[in-house]
Amino acid sequence: MSNAPELAPSITVFKGDRSKLKSKVNLLERIQPGYYQSEVDNIYRQSWLPVTSTKEIPKKGDFIVVDVPPLKASLIVVRGQDNQVRAFYNICRHRANKLELDERGNKRVFTCPFHAWSFNTEGKLTGVTDEPQFPGLNRLEHDLIPVHTEVWETFVFVNFAKAPKHSLAQWLGEMHGGYQGFFDDREQIAHWSIEVNANWHVTINAFTEGYHSLFLHRATLPDYQGGKDNPMRHRPYLEVMEHHGRYSAKANPDHHMTPVEKLAFGAGRPLYPAFPQIDTDVPGFPTSVNPGRVSNWAFDITELFPCFVLINGANWHQCMWFWPIDENRTLIRVIDYAYKAQGLGDRLAHAYFRVRNREVFREDISTMEAIHASLKTGVMSHVVLSQQEMLLQKHYSVAAEMVEAGA
């Protein structure tokens, strides 16, 4: 007779090739300066990276300046007068001064504050002050420096490689056609950022598994998931793809709304942590929303490798970036989107959603610096990952492959 403990059954349906995944991962080596630099060169210079949303630049001439910390790059993302979205290095071609100092706005021309060289929204050099003093200057050689840019749904992606190895469609794989306008009718309702003293792997890991939710969020979200039939909150659907991974979470049918929750969602349309059900059997419903078509669906979490997490529910979605600054620090950016408010009730629901999300986020980041500090002691090199942490396994598998391919 075996003395091994009896294993509780899992409700998880696993999908995708798991043959290269490892349950034991060396994290100590990944927080070393040399290894981090190899990640910058072979992951961040080669991957398609989402940097902003088209919702931030809806009109011709609208622009937003975004930083990409691992590549020490500042970008101007702008909608040109031809309505095309482009990204350029935020660098004047005269003396390499930072061209645009405003975070966002609307312009027909970007003018450098140093010597007033000017560039249009398509990146063309249109004005050189005291131009006769530049004999032989060829304006065509001094346009803004572009970065490969593609738009998918409402997301703007960039790629810093000279010649990207994949198109954005190839990089996204089966997700590319899977959302079909799902994010269109949304407005930004919250935006915050924080710098954390922890490696970027450690920070993104905190958001791509649900194993911790029963314990870490026991005060803020005691019963929004799980229930009698799923006490350990196993994910009903978990999928790994060529580069990315995703899972769906199941709501607790026995969830008891708090008085504040009842007030907020009694006046406005429900948002997280309430989970109104939507009919996924409607013809044309996006295939990547609740991809496993699980009953009593709560939300999906998708990691777009290397450092972006998309969380989406019925009426909302959250974008999270985990930008590495160096091997010891990460800049986390969070933007929340929800349905466009139609009255004060919806605004109240938005406000409750913002506060609840922020408090849960604070709990999630509470472990990061402690984990990183423990790893820096060097006494523990490896971590062990369960099947419910399979998105972490996939993350490390893709990262290792890309680093090794460029070695």
pLDDT at 406: 82
- What confidence tens digit (pLDDT) does each residue in 31-70 have? 999 999 999 999 999 999 999 999 999 999 999 999 999 9
**What fold, for 13-45+177-406?**
Naphthalene 1,2-dioxygenase Alpha Subunit; Chain A, domain 1 (3.90.380)
Tell me which of 67-71, 269-273, 338-342, 397-401 is least confident: 269-273
Instruction: Give 257's Cβ-side CA count (13 Å radius).
Output: 16
Mean per-residue pLDDT for 192-214? 95
pTM here is: 0.94
Confidence of residue 198 (pLDDT cuts 50, 70, 90): very high
Beta strands in 39-171 (DSSP E): 49-53, 62-68, 73-79, 85-89, 104-106, 109-111, 118-120, 125-127, 146-152, 155-159
> Is the pLDDT at 303 greater than 80, yes or no?
yes
Mean residue pLDDT of the chain comes to 94
Confidence of residue 154 (pLDDT cuts 50, 70, 90): very high
- What confidence tens digit (pLDDT) does each residue in 370-381 have? 999 999 999 999
pLDDT at 7: 47
pLDDT at 255: 86
Could you say which architecture CATH assigns to the domain 49-163? 3-layer Sandwich (2.102)
pLDDT at 9: 58
pLDDT at 122: 98
Q: Look up residue 339 and give its two tokens.
A: 């349905």
Between 184 and 255, the more confident residue is 184
DSSP string, 10-45: --PEEES--TT--SEEE-TGGGSHHHHHHHIIIIIT
- What confidence tens digit (pLDDT) does each residue in 121-137 have? 999 999 999 999 999 99
pLDDT at 226: 86
> Is the pLDDT at 104 greater than 70, yes or no?
yes
How would you classify the pairing of strands 245-250 and 237-240?
Answer: antiparallel
Beta strands in 142-288 (DSSP E): 146-152, 155-159, 186-196, 237-240, 245-250
CB environment 175-211: b (16+ within 10 A), e (fewer)? beebbeebbeebeebbeeeeebebbbbbbbbbbbbbb
Q: For the chain, give every residue range classified as CATH 3.90.380.10.
A: 13-45+177-406
Confidence of residue 3 (pLDDT cuts 50, 70, 90): low
Angle CA 311–105–127, to nearest 5 = 130
Q: For the chain, give every residue range classified as CATH 2.102.10.10.
A: 49-163
